Chain A
Amino acid sequence: MHRTARHSRSPARTHGDVMANILVVDDSPAVTALLRAVLEGAGHTVLEANDGAGGLAVLSTTAVDLVVLDMMMPGMDGVETVRRLRGGGNRVPVIAMSGGTDAFPAAYSLKMSEMYGADRLLYKPFENDELLEAVDQLLAR
């Protein structure tokens, strides 16, 4: 089972406590910038990838404590990314987020990601506090 060095250590990193390495995977630069601002504002370090393949590449080389993963991306989407991540044995906590589209409603993509092992589902748009609460809960596990 692949585990990042950081994730294999005992957790308990909250934004009021210890900084965590958080990977944000989203194809929208605007969303990524917003998430970066919120997470860095809470004291975390943010890594970025703009699709699932890029996210998996970062996870294979870098110690990551938590992943914030968009579901709707060109190339490898979020559902497939969670499937491959868990299929490879990586248990890093994953927050799946989606606003859905007419063709692929969030009810489908978020539940599919949960089916493969996403830990928390965030339905866009969400409040900053909702993201930080989810991050804190997962890092404290």
Chain B
Amino acid sequence: MRPSARATAEVMAQVLRTTSSLAFADGLNPAQWAALRYFGQASPSARSVVAFARYHGTTKGTASQTIAALSKKGLIERHRSERDRRSVSLVLTPAGRAALDHDPLNEIAEAIAGLPESHHLAIAEALDQMLRTLLARRARRTQVRTVDEQGLRAVGADD
């Protein structure tokens, strides 16, 4: 029997709520954890606010706030490049690296790892397809908004 799409969506929302509450751990919020993970793995050329913002599809302002909070907590710091003194890199401090040992994502990964391989693959493929569908819809909405705004500006220009 095919499961109810609506009920599946509600169960998914419960999973998201659970993972979201897990992600408020060690005094960090989900965005701050995402930044810690990013700077824990970023290659030298990608250790900047702009690169982090672009990577996550967010604004530079939002990214700056997240990084400022991590800096205040002593988890991330600015390093001036040896090669180019004008260039500044953001790197995790030893405390930042230690914090990643308690990454709340580990608990979720363990739950996934405990699934049979076929279930894990099914989840991966379903997430892939759902994410593509949701991103495509979001892109269409953005396009419609942009066209509407351009139309309004054009109308305004005629006034």
Which secondary structure dominates where chain A touches chain B? mixed
Nearest chain B residue, comparing its CB with the CB of A117: B124
B87 to chain A, nearest CB (A): 12
Count B interface residues, CB 8 Å: 21
Q: Tell me how far the C-beta of B72 lies from the nearest C-beta in chain A, rounded to whole angstroms.
A: 24
How many angstroms between the C-alpha atoms of A104 and B142 in the bound complex?
A: 13
Q: A125 contacts which chain B residues (CB < 8 A)?
A: 45
The answer to whether A107 and B124 touch (CB under 8 A), given A123-B46, A125-B45, is no
Contacts of B142 in A (CB 8 A): 102-103
Main SS of the interface on chain B?
Answer: helix
The distance in angstroms between the C-alpha atoms of A6 and B56, with both chains bound, is 37
Instruction: Tell yes or no: A7 within 8 A of B by CB.
Output: no
Partner of B57 from the list A83, A107, A123 (CB cut-off 8 Å) is: A107
Of the candidates A79, A99, A105, which one forms a contact with B128 in the assembled complex, judged by CB atoms under 8 Å apart?
A79
8 residue pairs from A and B, CB less than 8 Å apart: A79-B128, A104-B135, A105-B55, A106-B55, A112-B127, A123-B51, A123-B55, A126-B43
The 7 closest A-B pairs by CB, nearest first: A105-B57, A103-B139, A130-B43, A123-B46, A107-B56, A127-B45, A106-B55
